[in-house]
Structure 1
C-alpha cells in the first residue's frame, strides 16, 4: 500500500528552508512551514521556515548554500531573486574521518567478457577510433558499409561496430595539457574492455599522430588492434575497403569470446547527474550513493566526476580521503578550476543551468551538495586526471567538466564499463561502448519519459520507498545490465554522438 506523500521535507535540523514535494499554492500553510505561503511554490523549490536577514546564510542539508540577498520571511519562496552565492571558504579537514565500510557477506557475479589484460567487459563491440576530425567521416563510412554488407551476420557474440569520432586532433599544440588529455582519452578507448577489437584510423598529417599513439607498446594484449591512415592507404574508397577487410578478421576473433561469470569487483561504474532538479539530492543521488557503497563493499569501483559541480561540497570529500595527499590533489584541481573559469571570463557559479533553476536549484553550492550524494559514504581512495586509467578499487574521483557527454567520455576512457546517470529534467543520451542506466529523480518526469528512463527514484517521495530499498534496486540493475540486459538508451540506439573529448587550449 502506498504511504501518504508529505507536502514538504526538511533535510537537516539545522536547515532554515524546507523543500516543496509538490506544487503548493499561495496562502496555504503546509506542514513544517510556520506561516502562510507568500506565493505559489513549485515542487523541488525552497521555502523559508525562519526569518533570514539579508547577508545571513541559507542552509540546506545542514550546509551553507548561499546568502540571502534581502530579508526573507517565513513562508517566502527562496530562489534566485533573494538567494546568492556566499564567499566560498571551507574547512577541508584532510583525511579526518575513516568511513570504512564492512565487506560484503556474499560474493556476487555477473556475466561478462574476460579480456587478456585481466579486465572484464560488459559489452563486446568493435571500435573504429579516429585520431582527428578529418578521419571521422571515413570512420562512419566504414561502419555504414559494414552494416550494409552484413559484415556481422551470424556473429552472435559481437554487439556491433562503434565509430568513435570527434572534432579535434589537429589545430592544437602537440606539447600541452590539451594534447595530453586527448592522448589519454583516445588511448583509453582503444584499450577499453567493452571493445573486443579496435581499428584506429587517421588522416596522416594531423597533430595527433598514429605512431605516437601506438608507440612501441602493445595497445591491446589480445592483439586485436589495427591501424591505418587515409593518405597512406590511398584515399577514401581504398580506406573503406581496407577497413572492411580488417574488421572482418577482427570480428571473427571477437566472436570467439562469450559471457562467463565474473565477480562484481570487476565492475567500474561512472556516476553522472545531468538536468538536475530540487529532488536530485533527495532521491536519485543518495540512492545511487547507497548503491555505490554496496559495490565498493563487494570490491568494485565507482567514479565521481564533474569537478565544477562538486564546488562548495569538496570539503565533504576531503574529509573522506584515505590520505592527505589524495585530498590535496582534489583541492589543487579546485584551484585550477577557479583560475581556468576566471581566465575565460566565467565563474564557478555559472552553474546551475536554466533547467536546474526551473527545477529548484539556485546556487552551485546547493547543486554540488546534492551531486556529492552520488558518492555515498565510502572512503575516497584516489584522485585521477581526466581519462587517466583508474588503477585502484573503491570510490574514486576523476577530474572533468560538468558537461555530461564530456565527463562521461573521460570516465569511459578511464575504464568505466557501466555508466549510471541521474536526471530530474529528463536528459536523453547514451555512451557506446558502455551501457548507461538512467535514474529519474521524480515520478512526474519518469511517467512522462518512461521510454528513456530505466529506474524511477521519485517513488522515494511519492510512495515512501526508502533510500536503502532504492539503492539495492539500482545495485541489482548494475548486475543485470552488466550481464547483457539492454538499457533504455541502448534500445533507442543512443551512443553515436556522445563521444566528446575535453578540449583544453588554443585552437590554432
Structure 2
C-alpha cells in the first residue's frame, strides 16, 4: 500500500498517508525512499534535498521556504518551513474557461419552498432578529414561547422559531464600513427565502435604528414581517407579549408553504472549511469542488469566502476571473485586509492554528492552497463585499474573515440556502435557518465523530472511490438536504447560536 504521495510532479515534498517510522524504506514512484525522521500521518516528507532558503513546493505551488538544509527523507513542518515573499502569476482571466452548462431540460431538481418574490428556500423557519444586543433577551423569550411543547404541533410545515441575537448594533458609527456590513446582513436575513416569516426587535435608542434600517433597505412591514422596539411598546414584558402574539398570528400563513419541484439553479451553496488538516486539500475540499462544479453546470451558484484563507492562493482565482475588473476587485480585498490586520498589530500571513499544525499544515500558504480547492474549477463571476446580495450565478467570492460563524453569517445574508463545511480535525457546527452539511477529510475523524459528520471523504485516500465519484455523491446529498432531509447538525439541534455579524471598526 502506498504510504506517501506526491500531489504534483513539481513538488519536492510528499504527504504521508500513514505514519512513518524513522529509518524505514517506503516505495516511492518506482524507487525506495529512506525516512530519516518519525513522521505523523498527513505530515510532509522531503522527497529531494532542499537547500537553505529554497522554496518548498506542494500542489505545484510554493508553500514556504526551507530554514536550513533539508535532506531527502526528512520531516518538513514548522521547524524548518517558514513563510516568505512569493512571486505570484496573477495572469488575469488566463484560465477562465467557459462553463459547460447542462441543458435546461436535463438539469437536476429539488423540493423547495417557492416564495412570492420568486426566490426558493430550503427550510421554512420563523425568525426573531435583533437590531442590537440589548433586545437579545426579549427575542430569546419570544422564540422560547413559540418553541414550547405543543405550540407548533398544528403547523407541520414550519421548521421552528429562531432567535437571531448578537453582540453589536450600538457603540458604533452610524455610517461607514461597519454600519454598512451590519445593515446588509440584516437585510439579507429579512429577505432570505428560508424564512416564512420574521420579526425584528430593537431597543429604541441604539445606533442601528429600526426605522432607519427599514427605510435604507426599502423594507415594509406586512402580515409576515413586523418590526418594533422595546421602548416604544412599554418595556420587556410588553415587548415579549407583543412579539409572541404577533408571531402566533403569523403561523397559519407561514404554514401554508409547501415544497414543490424547483431547478437546482435556485440553490446557492456556501462552501467553508474549519479544523483543517493536510488531507483537506487532498480529499474533502477538492471533492466539494467537484460538487460545486456540478451545481454551477446545472445553473446554481457557489459562494466561496474567508479572505485570510485565500492569502497566498489568490492568484489561482484571478486566473479564473471572468473579467479583469473582477480580478482587480479580489486583489483590492487583499490590500484592504493587509491594511486592516496591520492596523490591529496582526499579520495576514499568520501561521495556521494549533489544530491545523497538528494536522500537518505548516504555513498559511499551504492551508490556502488546500482551501481554494473547494471552490471548484469554474469561472469566478463576481467578488462581493461582506453580506452583499448575490448578483450573478456561478462561482462568486464573498469577502469575510476566516472565523466560520462570521463568514457563514455573511454568506447566508448574501443568499446561500445550503452550507457545506469540510473538516479534518472535527467541527461541531450548524447554521439555522440554513442546513449545514459536514464533510470529513479522513475516515478516522468520521468514525470518531460519526454523529456530527454527514459525509466521509476519507474514502478517496482509502482508495474506495474516485474524486469524481465523491463529488457526485456530495452533490446528490446536497440535493437531498435541500429537499428536506435533516443534516447531522440539524439532528443534533445545532444552529441557534452561530449567527455572528462581522464587527468592523471601533466599539466606543
Structure-1-length-normalised TM-score: 0.97
Structure-2 residue corresponding to 1:18: 14
Q: Aligned pair 1:387/2:383, yes or no?
A: no
Q: 1:216: how far off?
A: 7.0
Q: Aligned pair 1:491/2:491, yes or no?
A: yes
May I ask how many residue pairs the two structures share in their alignment?
Answer: 504
**Do 1:34 and 1:49's aligned partners in 2 also have CA atoms closer than 8 Å?**
no
SS of residue in 2 equivalent to 1:59: strand
**Do 1:219 and 1:225's aligned partners in 2 also have CA atoms closer than 8 Å?**
no
Structure-2 residue corresponding to 1:160: 160
**Do 1:116 and 1:221's aligned partners in 2 also have CA atoms closer than 8 Å?**
no
Structure-2 residue corresponding to 1:458: 458
**Do 2:166 and 2:501's aligned partners in 1 also have CA atoms closer than 8 Å?**
yes
**Do 1:115 and 1:222's aligned partners in 2 also have CA atoms closer than 8 Å?**
no
Q: Deviations over 1:368-388 (max 9, x none)?
A: 000000111100000000000
Choose which of 94, 104, 113 in structure 2 pairs with 1:96.
Answer: 94
Is there any run of 5+ residues in structure 1 with no aligned partner, and where?
Answer: none
SS of residue in 1 equivalent to 2:162: strand
Distance 2:220 2:92 in 1: 38
Q: 1:217: how far off?
A: 5.8
SS of residue in 2 equivalent to 1:128: strand
Q: Deviations over 1:62-109 (max 9, x none)?
A: 000010011100110000000000203312111122322211252211
Is there any run of 5+ residues in structure 2 with no aligned partner, and where?
Answer: none
Structure-2 residue corresponding to 1:260: 260
Structure-2 residue corresponding to 1:295: 295
Q: Deviations over 1:276-309 (max 9, x none)?
A: 0000000000000000000000000001100100
Distance 1:216 1:460 in 2: 49
Distance 2:27 2:247 in 1: 63
Choose 315-324 or 144-153, whichever is displaced more: 144-153
**Do 2:27 and 2:33's aligned partners in 1 also have CA atoms closer than 8 Å?**
no
Please list, as runs of the form range in 1=range in 2, the aligned pairs for 1:79-158 lying within 5 A after superposition. 79-105=77-103, 106-148=106-148, 150-158=150-158
Structure-1 residue corresponding to 2:500: 500
Distance 1:307 1:255 in 2: 39
SS of residue in 2 equivalent to 1:74: coil
Q: Aligned pair 1:428/2:428, yes or no?
A: yes
**Do 1:116 and 1:222's aligned partners in 2 also have CA atoms closer than 8 Å?**
no
Structure 1 runs, 4 residues or longer, greater than 4 Å off: 220-223
Q: 1:147: how far off?
A: 2.1
Distance 2:217 2:34 in 1: 69
Q: 1:460: how far off?
A: 0.3
Structure-2 residue corresponding to 1:328: 328
Structure-2 residue corresponding to 1:306: 306
- Over 3 Å counting, the alpha-carbon distance change for 1:76 and 1:149 in structure 2 is closer
Structure-1 residue corresponding to 2:281: 281
Structure-1 residue corresponding to 2:349: 349
Q: Deviations over 1:324-353 (max 9, x none)?
A: 000000001101111111111111122411
Q: 1:34: how far off?
A: 5.0
**Do 2:446 and 2:456's aligned partners in 1 also have CA atoms closer than 8 Å?**
yes
Distance 1:363 1:277 in 2: 12
SS of residue in 1 equivalent to 2:7: coil
- Over 3 Å counting, the alpha-carbon distance change for 1:29 and 1:21 in structure 2 is same
- Over 3 Å counting, the alpha-carbon distance change for 1:217 and 1:309 in structure 2 is closer
Q: Deviations over 1:105-139 (max 9, x none)?
A: 52211000001111100000000000000001110
Choose which of 58, 61, 65 in structure 2 pairs with 1:60.
Answer: 58
**Do 2:62 and 2:86's aligned partners in 1 also have CA atoms closer than 8 Å?**
no
Choose which of 14, 22, 29 in structure 1 pairs with 2:25.
Answer: 29
SS of residue in 2 equivalent to 1:479: helix
Distance 1:435 1:344 in 2: 34
Structure-2 residue corresponding to 1:416: 416
Q: Aligned pair 1:7/2:8, yes or no?
A: no
**Do 1:120 and 1:193's aligned partners in 2 also have CA atoms closer than 8 Å?**
yes
Choose 484-493 or 250-259, whichever is displaced more: 250-259
Distance 1:98 1:91 in 2: 14
SS of residue in 2 equivalent to 1:329: helix
**Do 2:214 and 2:220's aligned partners in 1 also have CA atoms closer than 8 Å?**
no
Q: 1:478: how far off?
A: 1.0
Choose which of 76, 79, 88 in structure 2 pairs with 1:78.
Answer: 76
Structure-2 residue corresponding to 1:400: 400
CA RMSD of aligned residues (A): 1.3
- Over 3 Å counting, the alpha-carbon distance change for 1:241 and 1:172 in structure 2 is same
Q: Aligned pair 1:169/2:135, yes or no?
A: no
Distance 1:352 1:89 in 2: 21
**Do 1:34 and 1:75's aligned partners in 2 also have CA atoms closer than 8 Å?**
no
SS of residue in 2 equivalent to 1:311: coil
- Over 3 Å counting, the alpha-carbon distance change for 1:223 and 1:265 in structure 2 is farther
- Over 3 Å counting, the alpha-carbon distance change for 1:244 and 1:30 in structure 2 is same
Q: 1:488: how far off?
A: 0.4
